[in-house]
Amino acid sequence: MSLPDIESVQGRFGAIDILNAPGERTTDEAVRGNRIDFSHGDVEAFPPAPSATAAVNAAIARGGEHAYSRYRGHASIREPLAERLSCFTGVPIDPSRELIITPGTQAGLFLALSSLIGLGERAMVIEPDYFANRRIVTYLGGKVVPIPLSYDDSTTPATLELDRIRAAAADGVKVLVLSNPNNPTGVLYSADQLHEIAAIANRHGVVVVADELYSRLVYPGHTATHLRACGIDPDLCITLLGPSKSESLSGFRVGAAVGAPAVIDRMEKLLAIVNLRTSGYNQSALHSWFTEPDGWFDDRTTAHQRIRDDLVDVFTNAPGFRVRATEGGSYLFPCLPQMTVSPAEFIDELRKHTGIVVTPGGEFSPHHGGSIRLNFSQDHARAVDAARSLVQVAGEFAT
């Protein structure tokens, strides 16, 4: 007997295939060669701060008082966290009204967009951007209004087409979602662009969901500007943050969303039926976030910068590849050379013969199928070797 009647939700699910999603291609699957999974960071190469894991262990040991919390998270964690995130983002945060602890930043994104997008409503999505953005909008029955990002010219700041945002806002589109640093390209938006976006949002009442998951990992010569500090109406901005990536705490599934109280309230209501709450114990992983030992995060940034520089060298010197150096975060998004096989076939061959996993650019935009995303938060030497192998395999398919 085939499944009855769930065909009516088929469309909703058509938007959210997971074949190329991070981790799905390698875990539980035997691969050959110098296996390296560029689809997500390697927490062996960059382990969590000991204080974070110790805090979770302590919460588990203390038991009862930590198991349950309000849906939006323990007040004892939200209060000091609000203060630290206020410092980091440059605008005060009321821990009782403007902060919710989420089961990972992914959940923050799902909860925020679900709180904002009704059936048939439109949302501006950057191309390219984190692949879940357009998937969630589509899953919710919303319509994607694409906003192109120009980043090809490494000598100038990457730019969003503000005229397109202005026109969409004037036409009644009420939601904009963007990641900054941008995932997959690793570019940072300029303060000028973000002030302009804030002004458009204020003028037209657009709510902006700013996914700033990687905004702490910024390389010399660049600055992460927080949209919430760019003059946007506090009721029109939700900022997503979390220690999953740069701080290697993804295994705990904890994150935070700060901003518009009315949206935070909705996110909490939805969290209650989706998940109840972020693991009561794991919330303690946030206790030491931004309070790690002096130099711990700086060292991490420096180590990532060195890997970035070496990988950029490999791709810059490889025939036909184009790459822009990452400004924030740990992604590179090189454009592949012309080959005798399609990018999908290349990615497949690469994985089968070398065990190297990368994420297809088509996951991030319909127009970027010629690029691949690499998370370079890896063991330095192995990452460089793998990048060289990748270039070599591409060479075998040279036109």
CB of 384 to a copy of itself, least distance (A): 19
Q: Kindly state whether residue 130 participates in binding a copy of itself, applying the rule CB under 8 A.
A: no
Residue ranges in 186-205 that form contacts with a copy of itself under rule CB under 8 A: 202, 205
Q: Kindly state whether residue 2 participates in binding a copy of itself, applying the rule CB under 8 A.
A: yes
Q: Kindly state whether residue 50 participates in binding a copy of itself, applying the rule CB under 8 A.
A: no
**What's the distance, Cα to Cα, between the start and end of the chain in Å?**
49
Residue closer to a copy of itself (CB basis): 74 or 226: 74
**Interface with a copy of itself (CB under 8 A), residue from 197, 210, 236, 374:** 236
CA distance 120 to 140: 9
SS3 of residue 154 by DSSP: coil
Q: Kindly state whether residue 61 participates in binding a copy of itself, applying the rule CB under 8 A.
A: yes
Q: Kindly state whether residue 70 participates in binding a copy of itself, applying the rule CB under 8 A.
A: yes
Q: Kindly state whether residue 38 participates in binding a copy of itself, applying the rule CB under 8 A.
A: no
SS3 of residue 195 by DSSP: helix
CA distance 25 to 381: 22
Q: Kindly state whether residue 1 participates in binding a copy of itself, applying the rule CB under 8 A.
A: yes
Q: Kindly state whether residue 364 participates in binding a copy of itself, applying the rule CB under 8 A.
A: no
x/- mask, a copy of itself, residues 258-277, rule CB under 8 A, reads --x-xx--x-xxx-xxxxxx
124 burial type by CB count under 10 A (0-12 exposed, 13-18 middle, 19+ buried)? buried
Helix 162-170 and helix 191-204, axial crossing angle in degrees, nearest 10: 10
Q: Are 304 and 96 in contact (CB under 8 A)?
A: no
Residue closer to a copy of itself (CB basis): 72 or 324: 72
Residue closer to a copy of itself (CB basis): 58 or 398: 58
Q: Kindly state whether residue 13 participates in binding a copy of itself, applying the rule CB under 8 A.
A: yes
Q: Kindly state whether residue 66 participates in binding a copy of itself, applying the rule CB under 8 A.
A: yes
CA distance 245 to 213: 7
Residue closer to a copy of itself (CB basis): 68 or 291: 68
Full DSSP string of 197-222? HHHHHHHHT-EEEEE-TTTT-B-TT-
Helix 296-316 and helix 380-396, axial crossing angle in degrees, nearest 10: 20
Residue ranges in 152-181 that form contacts with a copy of itself under rule CB under 8 A: 174-175
**Interface with a copy of itself (CB under 8 A), residue from 83, 94, 235, 310:** 235
Task: Find the DSSP H helices in 50-204.
Answer: 50-62, 64-67, 75-89, 105-116, 131-139, 162-170, 191-204
Q: Are 270 and 264 in contact (CB under 8 A)?
A: no
Q: Kindly state whether residue 252 participates in binding a copy of itself, applying the rule CB under 8 A.
A: yes
Residue ranges in 283-342 that form contacts with a copy of itself under rule CB under 8 A: none
Residue closer to a copy of itself (CB basis): 3 or 295: 3
Q: Kindly state whether residue 30 participates in binding a copy of itself, applying the rule CB under 8 A.
A: no
Q: Kindly state whether residue 27 participates in binding a copy of itself, applying the rule CB under 8 A.
A: yes
Within a 10 A sphere around the Cβ of 321, how many other Cβ atoms? 19
Identify which range of 63-71, 152-160, 187-195, 381-389 contacts a copy of itself by CB under 8 A. 63-71
CA distance 247 to 48: 6
CB of 7 to a copy of itself, least distance (A): 9
CB of 1 to a copy of itself, least distance (A): 5
Q: SS3 for 310-339, per residue?
A: HHHHHHHCCCCCECCCCCECCEECCECCCE
Residue closer to a copy of itself (CB basis): 13 or 150: 13
Identify which range of 86-94, 187-195, 214-222, 278-286 contacts a copy of itself by CB under 8 A. 278-286
Residue closer to a copy of itself (CB basis): 215 or 278: 278
Structure tokens at 290: 């931004």
**Interface with a copy of itself (CB under 8 A), residue from 151, 281, 321, 364:** 281
Cis peptide, bond prior to residue 128, ω within 30 of zero: yes
Residue closer to a copy of itself (CB basis): 82 or 188: 82
Pick the closest to residue 182 from 231, 123, 222, 137 (CA basis).
222
Residue closer to a copy of itself (CB basis): 386 or 391: 386
CA angle (288 as vertex; 282, 293 as ends), nearest 5: 145
